[in-house]
Structure 1
């Protein structure tokens, strides 16, 4: 599980977008995402890489859930005010 308060937005393949806005999310990260994040952190990956991995995790577990396969959006993570992982 992760709790995050950050400026998040997305751009969809069809050109629609949601400008970044402050969101407070608490959700479970499915699949390989938690492992990818922790492995990258333990390898001392730069923050930009951690943001990429976290963006993919949020996309898969929040923005893209309940959507038909192949419908993806580009997730934008701005300022992160708070992030906490539960495991």
Structure 2
């Protein structure tokens, strides 16, 4: 069962649900400055493969948070790479994180 779910996530991607402090590392008052947000975002199979590879190599939670921050920043703020180039993403104070594979 786990192997099938992993293969499916790596092939088709997954939906990531989280409540965390998330935003650009921007000056206070920016509309995208870090604040607690509830986010539901599709992330690609490439992200799933990267997360599993990190876990399999013994990477800890911090490494997985870095991977998720980059992926969320790309999909959520950068609109798939169409805007907000070069800004750092802040993803901290994770209250919960859940993954759904359709």
Task: Compute the displacement of 1:25 (Å).
Answer: 0.5
CA distance, structure 2, for counterparts of residue 64 and residue 43 of structure 1: 29
Secondary structure at the residue paired with 2:88? strand
Aligned residue for 1:77, secondary structure, equals: strand
Within 1, Cα distance between the matches of 2:84 and 2:34? 23
Give matches, 1:68-79, under 5 Å: 68=82, 71-79=85-93
> Of Structure 1 and Structure 2, which has the larger fraction of its residues in helix?
2
> Residue 31 and residue 64 in structure 1: after superposition, are their counterparts in 2 closer, same or farther (change >3 A)?
farther
How many residue pairs get matched? 85
Residues 2-17 of structure 1 aligned to structure 2 (within 5 Å): 2-11=16-25
Q: 2:96: which partner in 1?
A: 82
Aligned residue in 2 for 1:26: 40
TM-score relative to the length of structure 1: 0.79
Inter-partner Cα distance in structure 1 for 2:42 and 2:35: 21
Q: TM-score, length-normalised on structure 2? A: 0.69
Determine which structure has the larger strand proportion and give its number: 1
Q: Which has the higher contact order (CA 8 A, sep 6+)?
A: 1
Distance of 1:69 and 1:76 partners within structure 2: 17
Aligned mates of 1:79, 1:39 — CA distance in 2? 24
